[in-house]
């Protein structure tokens, strides 16, 4: 047997992708690489990439600021108004971004929690007499200090 004539079969090309594959592996290649599930996944990924590319191109478009007439990108509207004008962008410009001004604006997290607690209809006692309630903090004693006597 000469080195030029080996036992390796000559590869054949896949009819779908053109990749050279050994003849005995062609069926497995078609089943794994070109299965309907994998094709559906690839189609969904390509559609998502087209959507991402279109959104990126849209956000890169420029428009004139209605306040200072500077040319700004659509994606930079919020930061431009925050940095240059120290205020929130107008609702019309926020709609270009696909964002809107929140309807419920609260002065603090506590006010927001109180509002949603009231909306949910839960009865909540502000001061609990339960000793093991998580909101109660007990202080006293010297437990947990260890051997350090400097406390």
One digit per residue, the tens of pLDDT, for the chain of length 151 reads 455 556 778 999 998 889 999 999 999 988 888 888 888 988 999 999 999 999 999 999 999 999 999 999 999 998 999 899 988 888 888 888 888 766 667 888 888 888 888 888 776 666 666 767 666 666 655 556 666 666 5
pLDDT of residue 61: 93
Burial of 77 (0-12, 13-18, 19+ CB in 10 A): buried
pLDDT tens digits, 100-128: 766 667 888 888 888 888 888 776 666 66
pLDDT at 113: 85
Q: What is the Cα–Cα distance from 64 to 74, expressed in whole angstroms? A: 10
- Residue among 64, 67, 69 at smallest CA distance from 85: 67
Pairing mode of beta strands 12-13, 20-21: antiparallel
pTM listed for this prediction: 0.49
CA 118 to each of CA 35, 37, 121, 135: distance values in angstroms, whole numbers, following the listed order: 54, 48, 5, 19
Contact 104, 112 (CB under 8 A): yes
Domain ranges in the chain are: 12-52, 56-97
pLDDT, position 131: 67
The DSSP code for 56 is H
Q: H helices of 34-90, where? A: 36-59, 77-84
Distance of CA 76 to the CA centre of its chain: 19
């Amino acid at each position: 047997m000469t080195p030029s004539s080996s036992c390796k079969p000559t590869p054949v090309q896949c009819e779908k992708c053109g990749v050279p594959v050994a003849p005995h592996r062609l069926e497995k290649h078609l089943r794994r690489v070109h299965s309907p599930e994998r094709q559906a996944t690839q189609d969904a990924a390509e559609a998502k990439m087209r959507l991402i590319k279109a959104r990126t191109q849209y956000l890169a478009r420029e428009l004139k600021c209605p306040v200072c007439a500077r040319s700004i990108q659509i994606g930079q509207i919020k930061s431009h108004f925050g940095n240059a004008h120290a205020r929130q962008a107008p609702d019309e410009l926020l709609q270009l971004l696909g964002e809107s001004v929140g309807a419920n604006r609260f002065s603090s997290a506590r006010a927001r929690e109180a509002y949603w607690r009231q909306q949910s209809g839960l009865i909540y006692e502000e001061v609990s007499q339960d000793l093991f309630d998580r909101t109660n903090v007990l202080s006293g004693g010297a437990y947990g200090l260890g051997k350090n006597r400097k406390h």
